[in-house]
A and B are shown apart, each in its own frame.
Chain A
């Protein structure tokens, strides 16, 4: 079956099976930032943006995104770079495995939340698990980033 969509601003078409997940399709299309951690919709590693909403690509059926706009970290470079640098400054990376899904969700959080505080940040990012438990480092990076972008301390 054929599915058409926009991937990082470029029109794409692909032939997929009924049960192909968006995760699998994106990897096949070369988006290697999209990774799979749990495959049970628990960890947030496979996060991508579909029609300006962050979703778990391991659960989305490829045929469900027909006509949609999809963004992966590959297409979010400018929005993601500044936060990535804050993470590097604050030593937020340990093994680094969880970073890609986490950064995509941070980008989406900045787009979605008009008002932001420590509690809303924690709630928004609760679905991004870090098996190295590097949450304090991530929080320091978020404090720095949000102060730069919004001029507020969280």
Chain B
């Protein structure tokens, strides 16, 4: 666990942003990831009092506040009705209920972790990321951006009538995924996202009938302790086919 000197509950996004401009200050949300660090933090910036813990839905989109927990998106009826169970399937294997009650959507997206289940599903659903200073950017763009000192305000899921399916392979339950995949169908087109390759999730847009052999060629796989590049590539084909069948 890190050492911190001060703790401030920001009263506005502007205040949170201002505090965050100082290099040794840090936004702490669920603290699940940050607590693994051992450095020194000047001021912990808490976003708890900013009302970012709400999920709002209208005809066009679902807006998920940065401080909404993974458990809440797992159980949210609007998300389930609009996108089926793909979001639920993406998060339900992340550690445990107690963990998902803490870990936030904002922390999960901000982290842009290579192993992320959350990024994979949001990328497939064409999510947008609302940043306090930079405004709204597509998640595709956000993933490639540097870690600057902006504040993530919300994630926006446009309701585009997509049919999506999610699957992952883990060596043991609740472990990090060895590979994850989400397929989102839009009429005769589909977006395939593969994550935990083991590097960051990437997407490929193609015809719904595109051969899975060709699709996997669009992704770069690698080896680590969990699996080899070759194995990941073989599993990727299986996950694409499973997900494609689920949205037929």
* A interface list, Cβ under 8 A from B: 1, 17-19, 21, 39-42, 44, 47, 53-56, 58-61, 63-64, 105, 108-109, 123-128
Whether B98 lies near A56 (C-beta < 8 A) is yes
CA distance in complex: A108, B44 (Å): 30
* Interchain nearest-CB distance for B24 vs A (Å): 13
Whether A59 lies near B7 (C-beta < 8 A) is no
Whether A54 lies near B98 (C-beta < 8 A) is yes
Q: Which residues of B contact A18 (CB under 8 A)?
A: 4-7, 41, 43-44
Whether A1 lies near B97 (C-beta < 8 A) is no
B3 within 8 A of A: yes
* B interface list, Cβ under 8 A from A: 1-7, 28, 30-32, 35-36, 41, 43-44, 46, 48, 71, 92-93, 95-99, 101-102, 173-174
Q: Which residues of B contact A59 (CB under 8 A)?
A: 30-32, 35, 99, 102
Q: Which residues of A contact B95 (CB under 8 A)?
A: 41-42, 127
B101's partner among A1, A55, A123, A126 (CB-CB below 8 A) is A55
* Interchain nearest-CB distance for A111 vs B (Å): 12
CA distance in complex: A127, B95 (Å): 6
Q: In the complex where A40-B36, A41-B35, A64-B46 touch, is A55 in contact with B4 (Cβ < 8 A)?
A: no
CA distance in complex: A90, B110 (Å): 45
Interface centre among A63, A124, A128 (most CB of B within 10 A): A63
Q: Which residues of B contact A40 (CB under 8 A)?
A: 36
Q: Which residues of B contact A42 (CB under 8 A)?
A: 95
Q: Which residues of B contact A126 (CB under 8 A)?
A: 93, 96-97, 173-174
Whether A127 lies near B98 (C-beta < 8 A) is yes
Whether A64 lies near B48 (C-beta < 8 A) is yes
Whether B99 lies near A19 (C-beta < 8 A) is no
* Interchain nearest-CB distance for B193 vs A (Å): 24
Besides A41-B32, A61-B28, A127-B96, 12 other A-B contacts (C-beta < 8 A): A18-B44, A19-B1, A19-B2, A19-B41, A41-B95, A44-B96, A54-B98, A59-B32, A60-B31, A61-B46, A63-B44, A126-B173
